[in-house]
Chain A
Amino acid sequence: MTRSLVLRTPGDRWSVKLNVRVLVVTLALAVLLAISSVLALASGSHPTSFVDVLGTLANPAQSELTLIILEIRLPRVIMAILVGGALGSAGLILQGLVRNPLASPDVIGITSGASAAAVLFLWLGGVTGTSLLLAPVAMGGAFSVALCITALAWQQGISPARLVLVGVGLAAALTAVTTLLLVLSPDSTAMNAYIWLTGSLYASQWHDVTALTPWLALCLPLALIKLRHLDAQSMGEDMALGLGSALHGHRLLFLVLAVALAGSAVAYAGAVGFIGLIAPHMARRLVTSGHTGLLPVAALIGALILLYADWIGRVIFIPRDLPAGIFVAGIGAPFFVYLLYRLRRNLG
């Protein structure tokens, strides 16, 4: 039996049922994330103590330390949390939508769309990865691909199987285009593009944070309110319709939410893979709940993965600053193999 808390407004107009385990796990992960963030803020090529970090955060003074922590490390840490959280949530929504544990933004082509657009932009302009226009262009790519996928998969509504297959096909074509552009570009541009494709939080700044935050602020609450319809869909199309859920309308909404979350995250951090695939599974290991309860857990786990991946790439290989995407794959791959083993056992 899962224990639940039920909160009601007077007169029972509104009520929320909270799963106690979800609450506890969410809180624990949030605390872990806070501690990890301070750890990440304290380490780097200019080591600082925890006390200094907390002191600077509480009471910023004009000093070199303040500059390092507040202007260089803090935006990067926040970006890791936001991007990881967005990708984790997008993965959860997509896996629920497609009803397949192997779906994720990178598998069904959203990330490839952003990548192709970004590499095209870098190729045309020959500009470095810091250009302000890069992120909107990449997001445009993600949305156009999602539009194409939906249009091509639409036959009197969206069928999850067709959605996945069409996404996979488009992803392959877009990867081909990306490769072509890479081969055609001069080596320096190609290397830049490659770092973007791997996913890196290098040189994240406050304006990135302010640009990404609204997307999450808009999408996550909406997802929290609407995700119960995904639970209805997971019982089958007939059951969802019987329960009064607008099947195709909600599928479209969830697709848009997933694309907005994944597209905005990838636009600012590059094509980080695997978080969308593995964070939802880790969440399901920790709590048994409907999608609404899983969302905060998956988001926090995604944030933790990217925070640590970025920390490893930044700190372990000083003076080199390696893209976080490498280490996400490094953490993701062993878990992926484990997942495979577990899925197999469940099925056997």
Chain B
Amino acid sequence: MLTSLLARASGTLFCLSLLLMATVSSLVFGHIPVSLDMLVASLMDYDPGSLEHLVVRTERFARTITALVVGAGLAIAGVLMQTLTRNQLASPGILGINAGAMFFVVIGATLFSLTSPSELVWVAFIGAATAAFLVYFLGQEAGRGISPVRTVLAGVAVTALFVSFAQGLLIFNQDRFESILFWLAGSVSGRELNAILPLLPLFGLALLVALLLSRQLNLLGLDDEVTRGLGLRVGHARLLIGLVVIVLAGTSVAMAGLIGFVGLIVPHMARGIFGTDHRWLLPMSAILGATLMLAADTVARMIIPPQEVPVGVMTALLGTPLFLYLARHVRKVS
């Protein structure tokens, strides 16, 4: 763990350079490789006649932005949830928030013919909030407050509920098979830049609120009575954090469907490097989350060309070993 300011600053610099590398490779690699010169040219001096320029400007650029935003959002949501529930296994994917948002998005897309993410995102918020409410109430155990194992089980049961509903819709609505599968599998491809842009202000606002709450988040890690004694309105802070989680997870799902485990892995990585102070933890998780997502998406394009592995599958396969490791040590951490 990096403790001195100098070490943390160099750590930050390192993470930022990783992010830059991931961003560039996300723009460069793929079915049609683009050279670095070509990339710079396509951004500076756009020529619609060139295939490479067209690919970068119309497809990869939007895809890179989506991956960046989704990765950062899910990672921050993961940090907030782990602090809020004091549960190392919490994340928007495992606790069913993503699944709730996904199911409502699927309903919006199939039954009400909503298509653009800026319309779907509101439906996603309702879904995320519903799931969060269900899991919160199911996760409590008599006298002992929120128990980690019980919360995880509640999350999984709620996920199963929403996923089986989505699958049911899929069978009723076979002509929308491709579109529903997109949401279930999770993907950052096929989005146009214009469709994503309206979501960014909202997303930025949620990020800002999360960063402003750093101090309160540090206090929430303490015992409830200590926190109150230090003058924090625990209920208000929890509610606000919950809202931020719902906005972040809902936006991510409206953009990219079900993408699991980013919200679980990244906070643990960031905590391992930068410690538990949220003033460092939150921004670093955002950077690492974006990097991980970009890297997963880039690798997903290259494994079995010309087909792509859905990026949600990639993150799940990356995240499972860590989850299993945490699961084996749950007694020690809780």
Contact = CB atoms under 8 A, between A and B. Distances in A.
Contacts of A176: 260, 312-313, 316-317, 320
B214 interface: no
B310 A323 contact: no
A228 interface: no
A201 to B, nearest CB: 14
A172 B260 contact: yes
Given A173-B317, A191-B174, A107 B142 contact: no
A164 B157 contact: no
B94 interface: yes
B214 to A, nearest CB: 29
Contacts of B138: 102, 340, 343-344
B181 A190 contact: yes
Given A172-B316, A172-B320, A274 B154 contact: no
A194 B167 contact: yes
Interface in A143-196: 152-153, 155, 159, 161-162, 164-166, 168-173, 175-177, 179-180, 182-184, 187, 190-191, 194-195
Interface residues of A, number: 54
B310 A347 contact: no
Contacts of B328: 152-153, 155, 162, 166
A169 B324 contact: yes
Interface string B210-236: 000000000000000000000000000
Contact of B171 (A155, A168, A322): A322
A103 interface: yes
B157 A182 contact: no
A336 interface: yes
B9 interface: no
A188 to B, nearest CB: 10
B295 interface: no
Contact of B320 (A164, A173, A187): A173
B14 interface: no
B161 interface: yes
A195 to B, nearest CB: 7
Classify chain B's interface size: 35 or more
B313 A325 contact: no
Nearest to B300: A180
Contacts of B140: 344, 347
Contact of A100 (B94, B149, B312, B324): B149
Contacts of A106: 160
A342 to B, nearest CB: 11
Given A107-B156, A168-B156, A340-B134, A152 B185 contact: no
Q: Is the interface of A mostly helix, strand, loop or mixed?
A: helix
A170 B165 contact: no
Given A176-B317, A187-B177, A336 B157 contact: yes
A323 B174 CA distance: 13
Q: Is the interface of B mostly helix, strand, loop or mixed?
A: helix
A197 B260 CA distance: 20
A113 interface: no
A299 B192 CA distance: 51
Contacts of A33: none
Nearest to B320: A173
Contact of A165 (B137, B149, B177): B149
Interface in A116-167: 152-153, 155, 159, 161-162, 164-166
A249 interface: no
B168 interface: yes
Contacts of B171: 194-195, 198, 322-323, 326
Contact of B324 (A152, A177, A184, A346): A152
A333 interface: yes
B194 interface: no
Contact of A169 (B177, B313, B327): B327
B153 interface: yes
28 contacts: A102-B154, A102-B156, A103-B153, A104-B157, A107-B156, A107-B160, A152-B324, A161-B149, A161-B331, A162-B328, A164-B153, A165-B149, A166-B328, A170-B324, A171-B156, A177-B317, A179-B310, A180-B309, A184-B307, A190-B181, A194-B170, A194-B171, A198-B164, A326-B164, A329-B161, A330-B168, A344-B140, A346-B142
Interface of A: 100, 102-104, 106-107, 152-153, 155, 159, 161-162, 164-166, 168-173, 175-177, 179-180, 182-184, 187, 190-191, 194-195, 197-198, 273-274, 277, 322-323, 325-326, 329-330, 332-333, 336-337, 340, 343-344, 346-347
